[in-house]
Amino acid sequence: MPSPENSDASLRSITFHNPRLTGLGLEPMTLSELKSKVSADFIQKPERVNLYMLILVTSGQGQHRIDFQNWPMVPGTLICVRPGQVQQWLTNNHYEADIILIAPDALPYHSGQQLPQQLSLLRFDEWHTLLSLPQGDAAQLGDEFKRLRHDFEQYDGEELDAALIRHELMSLLLRIAKLQRLQPTVETGQSSHGRTYRLFRQALELHFMEQRSVQFYGRALGYSESTLSRACLAAEGRSAKQVIDHRIALEAQRLLAHSTASVAEIAHQLGFSEPTNFVKFFRRLIGVTPTAFRRQE
């Protein structure tokens, strides 16, 4: 089950929490089952997820909101939510879905339990948020969700059962990774630029709240500033400094829209020495002041 962690002014943060499943680190359920565990008011509020979530729509239609974008939900839609993103279960939705909640340390990126080849094949952090699957692929993926759910329901803490379920999770993730590769995307693959860009984005996610200089990331990763910028330009058409600035601006938007913290408090949280500097930065990136953006949302 997801568990909330927040203060009154903060954006609600959701982590993986189920003492019975601590050794397993994942929990499958349907959307109806999730709704039955929490109040309607609770589930409709925006939340920052500190876990991975796979949502496969099985019937009906609606929308799901992730980081200021509403994604259409119809049968065959697969939504992939990553730690740090802000999501919202919108009202007036009429769809059912199979869901898998995954604790970060259950994934090979965090546990280090998988072979390097599997790590390079998975590349979970590059996945598209939404996949619209053909009927055959959706059915095959649905079968894998059901198989994992079946074995999960038999789980009683035995390590053999846990190993089987982890194996099925990896099989499912690799299948999704294969489907992800069929989607049009910016090329960040096997080139040296691609590897440099992936390492930079991973480091940025860890340190953007404290570190905003390209020099810091270059030193941490062993690359020159120009190498990082070339990699970012090749991957998304922005310099490394622009990538850093846009990541900070996204976090500012999340906090302005989904928390009650003041502009000054958000500025301090994001490492700005003065609120006026934050206002200028935000207006340059987003086109409006933080206060105006908050009113719009």
Nearest residue to 114 (alpha-carbon basis) of 166, 187, 160, 38: 166
* pLDDT (0 to 100) of residue 187: 46
- pTM (predicted TM-score): 0.83
Instruction: Write out pLDDT tens, residues 208-245.
Output: 999 999 999 999 999 999 999 999 998 889 999 999 99
- List 53's β-bridge partners, or say none: 81, 101
Output the pLDDT for position 2: 62
Which one is the CATH code of 193-296: 3.30.70.60, 3.40.640.10, 2.30.30.140, 1.10.10.60? 1.10.10.60
pLDDT for residue 115: 47
Q: In 3D, which of 170, 169, 157, 147 has the Cα closest to residue 19?
A: 157
Coil, helix or strand at residue 247 = helix
Residue at 251: amino acid letter: E
> For residue 10, what are the CA distances in angstroms to 7, 222, 247?
5, 35, 19
User: Which pLDDT does position 123 carry in this prediction?
Assistant: 78
Helices within 123-191 (DSSP H only)? 135-153, 159-181
* pLDDT attached to residue 185: 53
How far apart (Å, rounded) are the C-alpha atoms in residues 162 and 173? 16
Q: Which two tokens stand for residue 243?
A: 């990538």
Say which CATH superfamily domain 2-181 falls into: Regulatory protein AraC (2.60.120.280)
HSE, CB side, 13 Å, CA atoms: give it for residue 285.
21
Half-sphere exposure of 198 (CA within 13 A, CB side): 18
Q: Report the pLDDT value the prediction gives residue 112, as an integer from 0 to 100.
A: 45
With contact defined as beta carbons under 8 Å apart, do 85 and 104 qualify? no
* Cα radius of gyration rounded to whole Å, the chain: 20
Q: Tokens in use for 152?
A: 């999960």
Distance of CA 107 to the CA centre of its chain: 13
Write out pLDDT tens, residues 19-30: 778 778 899 999
Domain positions in the chain: 2-181, 193-296
pLDDT at 111: 46
Number of Cβ atoms within 10 Å of the Cβ of 183: 11
| Positions of the chain with pLDDT under 50 | 7-8, 109-112, 114-116, 186-190
Instruction: List, in order, residues 6 or more apart from 276 with CB less than 8 Å away.
Output: none
What's the pLDDT at 6?
A: 54
Secondary structure (DSSP) of 63-77 = EEEETTEEEEE-TTE
Q: Which residues in the chain belong to E strands, given as ranges?
A: 2-5, 13-16, 26-30, 47-49, 52-66, 69-73, 77-81, 86-89, 94-102, 130-132
Among 265, 263, 247, smallest CA distance to 295 is for 263
What pLDDT is recorded for position 188?
Answer: 44
pLDDT of 138: 96
Count CA within 13 A, CB hemisphere, residue 278. Answer: 22
